[in-house]
Amino acid sequence: MTGLPLYDVADLADVPPETPVRVDVAGTPICLVNVGGTIHAVHDVCTHALESLSGGWVTGDRIECPRHGAAFSVITGVPLTLPATMPLPTFGVAIKDGRILVDPTPSRPHPLYGN
């Protein structure tokens, strides 16, 4: 966490396991994923060709892009399969009173998206 204000983005119940959910945080599209009861947040835009990852599929801690099938870790943001080669930004998450709070500061710049 960076100390910046966190954004209240969703109810915990709205992000069930293996169901990616897109939210917008300060103008940035972010994909929330529930992995075994822990919520993780990655940039929603694929680093291969800008597809929305929340339209893809989650298995465990992996999300698969619906366009060309690259997989990323939703914990670290690193690409696990081609054709993606560049990592996704990740975001800090906190849970308070059943609400999901997201830190808007990315772990790294998005290589294509611009923020």
Residue among 48, 49, 18 nearest 32 (CA): 18
Among 23, 30, 31, 46, binds ligand FES (CB under 6 A): 46
> With binding defined as CB under 6 A, does residue 48 bind ligand FES?
yes
Please identify, among the stretches 14-22, 67-75, 86-94, 101-109, the one whose residues bind ligand FES according to the rule CB under 6 A: 67-75
Residue 106 β-bridge partners: none
Among 22, 62, 68, 99, binds ligand FES (CB under 6 A): 68
Over the Cα atoms of the chain, what is R_g? 13
DSSP letter, residue 113: T
> With binding defined as CB under 6 A, does residue 51 bind ligand FES?
yes
- As a whole number of angstroms, the distance between CA 109 and CA 14 comes to 27
Write the single-letter amino acid at 2.
Answer: T
Please identify, among the stretches 28-36, 62-70, 88-96, 101-109, the one whose residues bind ligand FES according to the rule CB under 6 A: 62-70
**Torsion angle defined by CA atoms of residues 30, 72, 107 and 102, in that order, rounded to the nearest 10 degrees:** 30
Please identify, among the stretches 6-14, 60-68, 86-94, 100-108, the one whose residues bind ligand FES according to the rule CB under 6 A: 60-68
Instruction: Give the footprint of ligand FES on this chain (CB under 6 A).
Output: 46, 48-49, 51, 65, 67-70, 83-84
